[in-house]
Structure 1
């Protein structure tokens, strides 16, 4: 259902918006030396009495799924689940969510050019999961880069997941569990310093005041440059206080706040070498980022070093701010708990992000010589290559969310059948508003690079750019009047809003001790609307609105041959409605932004993208329950993906299929050797990419004609996804307080996008001929291995020291690939030492 409304520009905008999902109950286990009070289990989510003997890691039970919807332990959950504990996060020296998730196989990160170009954009099993990231169960889809200073663990649920989390979640979801008060006193702190001017400090203070009142404050300060990346830097700080009243009692109230502020010179990486227009050769051609020894079309040779940076210190920046305030109240009624959770969040992001652009062939070049006559000669057009256009992508804006949900969860018996249930309802509001900075960067000049644009530093040398070039802003690309960069007019901003009303229910049914049936259903009523910026000279804007009703379900059967092993099969669905990300990321199914007749018809014809997953697997805990192993085989199918149809209209005929197998391990091989990691193999295929329009130029009396051909993407590997990935982190304690750790991480080749040079021509009689492609271009980044190491020593119960070395072999590799233009490059070898304090 959709509708269109109009509103005057002077109308005020609601400051409400929000998110939906469940606020989990972050209850955390004690450390090895401090016992947890007997009644502390009231905050834990292990509600399966038969599974109390769980995996032990370094002397304590391994982290388990937390939150009301965790109706079973990880071992008895019929789907692939990875729980990344804080110990692994700390040992690997991870300070951001992206760094922490590199230890989880099967997760890659995508790049973009707008919305969320350099923030967290994880792909799980080949699907963009930016909008399926949650903090304590609450959706946190705003464009941002997350720190882990207040993180207790990260839960990754793989496979179609809309039943659990609502809209989206085609490939899975990520739930970040934060730190909250505990019934004990402790202080932990760390201070790190290292190469590339690396500095990092954290503190985590918990005080149990008695009478069921606990207070906790976590804080962080971070400042660094990046190894072998010229000019790049990042600074941030954050604080996360929380208080719980009623710890250990039947009624508990927890209030928490989280603030993160970051400032950086963003790193966009390297441009690709070729476009489809200038790629030499025929057939299948792979273009990779322009690095190493390169010879341009004009015959100039040079070396692009890994520290090359094409941005501008005087122009580029990224500032971000996050506020989150949460309130949760819960009461135990015997084996059932009633919880009400509320969350308000505000995320602001402002940036001018350099995109090293190759779109007009300026990197490799389009000619052997430059023109010397005519207008091109007068302008001094550079066609021989060796230049990068410093395209400046800009955005400022914020996302506000407000949500409330109520959950009833717990366990009961019906005769000999045991039930672990969760039922709940959610109401949420969301608003995202964004605009652009007024900045000239040569976007109106074609070709991009000539004498004037080089003089203004719009274009820079491929081989020897200078980030300190004295760049200034002008009122236009051709004006000589200087002007400061300012935000665009308020009336030109685009606003997206959404509200969600949801209801859900889950039941883990123990039919007999060796057979568990897991069921879940969810209904979402999702309404989204977009109000585009005011057109020039207009006095009214238009609001386009659409409502979708989403129903998702999951079912799984678990067979337990023994108490510590399980075999399972499951089926789950996901639904991604139009405008699911509210413009905060890549939105392939966005609402239209004008009220033309065609767009109004499109608004009514939009469809929900449907995904379904099939999975079989096995799980076991061995070595007296100390090592958890799991394996799974799966297939995920997507239908209704938005593409161009054979009649050159938007149609919902796109299909993707992801098949794969995975293996994971977590725990103690012995009491002195702990491991974490796994292997994932994917066959990510675009089954149907729709059609591509070709235009046959006019001939004589024959007007130009448009013909449709199957998309070049059909049958190819899904983008921004690796076929193979392997991760391993191990920590060895040979003697005394000595600890030796290390990691090996492999990610296979990824593709960003595809293009070919098919064309259409027509005769004077109007007969159209489609000329087959002589070359197909794939933008790709190669696979890589990365190795890390750590050595630590526990001086006494209060002090420890450690040294981490990342990327030991100084491997040059790329971590993210965009569909065109560029790929993000990783830093070189770095090292840092850390002093840890515990009281």
Structure 2
């Protein structure tokens, strides 16, 4: 396979502008105590690995949240550094598994590999923020430089801008403190698990400090054949002016990843108007294969460890580079001005194996194989097509965000205000790698494609098959894998101009009004790829101007409790993700009548809840009921018409707990119930074949998705993590439950016509639901502190070695979770 190199930043056009009014930075809240001058006591630093931030003290640092958690009328979960460490999490996905109501979607086709959380049933891949600033590039995020993670649930474009129908994630970085400390972890475990991290902070003088975090990670994946992951990262930063009214922080973050990507196992059945090998029934489940009997009568077991990819073909490499400059100035004790300027560059290239079932080759469509032109067609099942999804993508973003916070009184009313302006230019460009994989051959699996390793055995694939690349599926000329020509790339640009205002208004000690509004001016441009270097280029452009709002009312029965109601909206304009996620409302890449019909999708959330801090404010309890509705989602009416009549609704409730019950005993977790239904999904095209003098006709019928549960959404999820520490010894454990998740739906309705051109819709005999089963997972941790500075811990993840699936795609495959992973960690503080 050809060497895959990252394009240089100079290969991609620079974003258009940046407002360089660099004034302001707000340091995040830290576990160690910080006095008003910004100093951290030596005792706090020495004990920093023991500090548990709980209850009302575990506060979000996003300045747009203008009240303490208990007085904020929303569901907000904050994952502390201590919780992330104790659960053995090494990635954003690892950390978020502890939060109920979040599931994860898989990558396929145009949806790039990267973190794809679904919050309350809505895809939040494009609603991730780093220190309050949007982070658009598709990537798999690490946590070695993360202080805490903030999850805000419910519609909240007002908080972060476009998208955010189900919620947002804000990742808070580790930044300098006025102290001298160093912390190092070295881990080793089964599946050749190796990891090392370091965090060093040094106070240069009374107002300047530097900090650097580093990480190296190398592992195979327990219970999975051939899969491996390697990455390293570094994150230096410096702050000038700590403990003074004016502060300036410069930081840099780099992460490099190299891995053999894993897509799990294929679904068994396929069902469409052209192919349906599933049993007849109104709701037939198609799960990832395990115990299988093919149409040809072959029975076998597919081990959960099975990998259908090719070591000589499949790869994933990625780089993330981020430069941030933040400045802050305090005007007295109640007014602060902050400015954040960031340049972010992400690149990833991959050939991602997708075990495809689209032509029924897994279970089969006939009881015997046929022969065409001397080639045996393997239509009786027992084969998997090694479909290669490829991508070479770059994103560059230049963002400037200015925030002003203030506290003041107007008569009897007390205000906590946050206002701001955002200017950004985000560019995304994507191409592919040119390789043959049998995509032009149908049915996919025959004696020729098996000989070329395009298809492999369902039961015994060999990832070491000597695959080579040919000029085409039928050519005999070998050729290296190359990136597609740059003139064929699709390029997206998004320019945002936004302003926002939030105000928490206290009416005495018992009532708080929480208000917010944001205006977004979003210009989107798409430059489709060209067929040749001399082909004319086109640019598709649109501009959307939208308001989003939030309003809440908080009643305070006591100082440590609250009752609230809230309303919030979100707006998702066309091309919101710039190709860096699954775009349900895409602009497209051709000039069509659809372009003028596009509108933003809008969502609203209603929520009511209660919060209480008990046991001397050590333990925080929360409960909420909510409804989120999208009443104008984009659907297809016919080939030339889209309509914004799609309807989706989520009704649900959740409870949460976080904090310390008694000294040494901490708990974290909750339960989420989501009744998520697609109420109106538009129409599906069926083609009636030509008959006599009648040409083929396309007709549209109601979508099979109508009335179905949201894909990638669990109705029930429960998480709990607890630990108890005494005399230097700590014992902890976690239980995590996720109910059945559906990936997508299909049926076998067909359309036929007679010689007079009258079209008949033949009803479905099978309605297929691709899904993954529910599962329980259990984790455990034990540690012993030999001295104040040396600790040894052991984490056991998936303690019972439960083989479960953690991501369901709409078709083709589901991702399988790692088996039991046990690793020990030696921690040293200095």
The 2-side partners of 1:511 and 1:565 are apart by 16
**Equivalent residue, structure 2, for 1:48:** none
Matched, 1:739 2:740: no
Aligned in 2, Cα 1:647/1:357: closer, same or farther, shift over 3 Å? Answer: closer
The 1-side partners of 2:485 and 2:763 are apart by 47
**Equivalent residue, structure 1, for 2:69:** 74
Judge conservation of contact 2:55–2:617 (CA < 8 Å) in 1.
Answer: no
The Cα of 1:759 is off from its aligned counterpart by 1.4
The 2-side partners of 1:646 and 1:481 are apart by 43
The Cα of 1:70 is off from its aligned counterpart by 2.1
**Equivalent residue, structure 2, for 1:577:** 573
Matched, 1:699 2:691: yes
**Equivalent residue, structure 1, for 2:4:** none
**Equivalent residue, structure 2, for 1:297:** 295
Q: Which of 58, 62, 81 matches 1:63?
A: 58
Q: List structure 1 runs of 4+ shifted beyond 4 angstroms.
A: 17-20, 56-61
Judge conservation of contact 1:327–1:343 (CA < 8 Å) in 2.
Answer: yes
The 1-side partners of 2:737 and 2:16 are apart by 40
Q: Once structures 1 and 2 are overlaid, which stretch shifts more, 207-216 or 434-443? A: 207-216
Superposed CA deviations along residues 44-88 of structure 1, whole A, max 9, x for unmatched, are xxxxxxxxxxxx946996320113212101110001000011111
**Equivalent residue, structure 2, for 1:485:** 481
Judge conservation of contact 1:121–1:129 (CA < 8 Å) in 2.
Answer: yes
Judge conservation of contact 1:18–1:499 (CA < 8 Å) in 2.
Answer: no
Matched, 1:603 2:598: no
Q: Which of 155, 158, 162 matches 2:157?
A: 162
The 2-side partners of 1:504 and 1:805 are apart by 45
Judge conservation of contact 1:272–1:287 (CA < 8 Å) in 2.
Answer: no
Q: Once structures 1 and 2 are overlaid, which stretch shifts more, 106-115 or 201-210? A: 106-115
Matched, 1:656 2:655: no
Matched, 1:337 2:336: yes
Superposed CA deviations along residues 404-430 of structure 1, whole A, max 9, x for unmatched, are 111110211112211000111110000
Q: Which of 262, 266, 270 matches 1:267?
A: 262
Judge conservation of contact 1:390–1:441 (CA < 8 Å) in 2.
Answer: yes
Judge conservation of contact 2:268–2:362 (CA < 8 Å) in 1.
Answer: yes
TM-score of the pair, normalised by structure 1:
0.94
The Cα of 1:653 is off from its aligned counterpart by 1.3
Superposed CA deviations along residues 698-746 of structure 1, whole A, max 9, x for unmatched, are 222333222221100000001111101000000112x300100000001
**Equivalent residue, structure 1, for 2:47:** none
- Consecutive unaligned residues of structure 1, counting only runs of 5 or more, are 1-10, 43-55
Judge conservation of contact 1:23–1:138 (CA < 8 Å) in 2.
Answer: no
**Equivalent residue, structure 2, for 1:4:** none
**Equivalent residue, structure 1, for 2:203:** 208
The Cα of 1:281 is off from its aligned counterpart by 2.2
Aligned in 2, Cα 1:13/1:27: closer, same or farther, shift over 3 Å? Answer: closer
The 1-side partners of 2:643 and 2:671 are apart by 37
Q: Which of 17, 38, 41 matches 1:40?
A: 38
Q: Which of 578, 583, 586 matches 1:587?
A: 583
The 2-side partners of 1:407 and 1:669 are apart by 37
SS of the equivalent of 2:330 reads strand
The 2-side partners of 1:41 and 1:632 are apart by 38
**Equivalent residue, structure 2, for 1:237:** 232
Q: What number of residue pairs does the alignment pair up? A: 804
The 2-side partners of 1:92 and 1:283 are apart by 43
SS of the equivalent of 1:380 reads strand
**Equivalent residue, structure 1, for 2:304:** 306
Superposed CA deviations along residues 324-380 of structure 1, whole A, max 9, x for unmatched, are 0000111000110011110000000000000100000000001000114x43xx111
The Cα of 1:642 is off from its aligned counterpart by 1.3
**Equivalent residue, structure 2, for 1:50:** none
**Equivalent residue, structure 2, for 1:618:** 610
**Equivalent residue, structure 2, for 1:7:** none
Judge conservation of contact 1:274–1:358 (CA < 8 Å) in 2.
Answer: yes
The 2-side partners of 1:633 and 1:803 are apart by 38
Q: Once structures 1 and 2 are overlaid, which stretch shifts more, 531-540 or 468-477? A: 531-540
**Equivalent residue, structure 1, for 2:79:** 84
**Equivalent residue, structure 2, for 1:817:** 808
The Cα of 1:771 is off from its aligned counterpart by 1.4
The 2-side partners of 1:812 and 1:18 are apart by 49
The Cα of 1:537 is off from its aligned counterpart by 7.2
Q: Once structures 1 and 2 are overlaid, which stretch shifts more, 61-70 or 387-396? A: 61-70
Q: Which of 318, 326, 329 matches 1:328?
A: 326
The 1-side partners of 2:313 and 2:697 are apart by 43
The 2-side partners of 1:64 and 1:209 are apart by 28
SS of the equivalent of 2:538 reads strand
Matched, 1:141 2:136: yes
Aligned in 2, Cα 1:61/1:619: closer, same or farther, shift over 3 Å? Answer: closer
Judge conservation of contact 1:644–1:691 (CA < 8 Å) in 2.
Answer: yes
Judge conservation of contact 2:396–2:427 (CA < 8 Å) in 1.
Answer: yes
Matched, 1:251 2:252: no
Judge conservation of contact 2:567–2:604 (CA < 8 Å) in 1.
Answer: yes
> What does residue range 69-468 of structure 1 map to in structure 2 within 5 Å?
69-276=64-271, 277-334=275-332, 335-372=334-371, 374-375=372-373, 378-468=374-464
- Consecutive unaligned residues of structure 2, counting only runs of 5 or more, are 1-9, 41-50
**Equivalent residue, structure 2, for 1:725:** 717
> What does residue range 463-612 of structure 1 map to in structure 2 within 5 Å?
463-536=459-532, 538-595=534-591, 599=592, 601-612=593-604
Superposed CA deviations along residues 109-149 of structure 1, whole A, max 9, x for unmatched, are 10121344431000000000011000001111211000000
The Cα of 1:535 is off from its aligned counterpart by 2.0
Superposed CA deviations along residues 143-199 of structure 1, whole A, max 9, x for unmatched, are 100000000000000000100000000000000000000111111110000000000
Superposed CA deviations along residues 423-466 of structure 1, whole A, max 9, x for unmatched, are 11110000001111110000011111111110110000000000
Matched, 1:772 2:763: yes
SS of the equivalent of 1:310 reads coil
**Equivalent residue, structure 2, for 1:29:** 30
The Cα of 1:16 is off from its aligned counterpart by 1.0
Judge conservation of contact 1:761–1:770 (CA < 8 Å) in 2.
Answer: yes
Superposed CA deviations along residues 596-651 of structure 1, whole A, max 9, x for unmatched, are xxx1x322210000000000000000111100000000000002211111686222
Aligned in 2, Cα 1:752/1:24: closer, same or farther, shift over 3 Å? Answer: farther
Judge conservation of contact 2:278–2:766 (CA < 8 Å) in 1.
Answer: no
The 2-side partners of 1:288 and 1:744 are apart by 27
Superposed CA deviations along residues 729-784 of structure 1, whole A, max 9, x for unmatched, are 00112x30010000000111111111111112222233222111111011000110
The 1-side partners of 2:36 and 2:797 are apart by 41
The 1-side partners of 2:793 and 2:695 are apart by 72
The Cα of 1:280 is off from its aligned counterpart by 3.6
Judge conservation of contact 1:58–1:671 (CA < 8 Å) in 2.
Answer: no
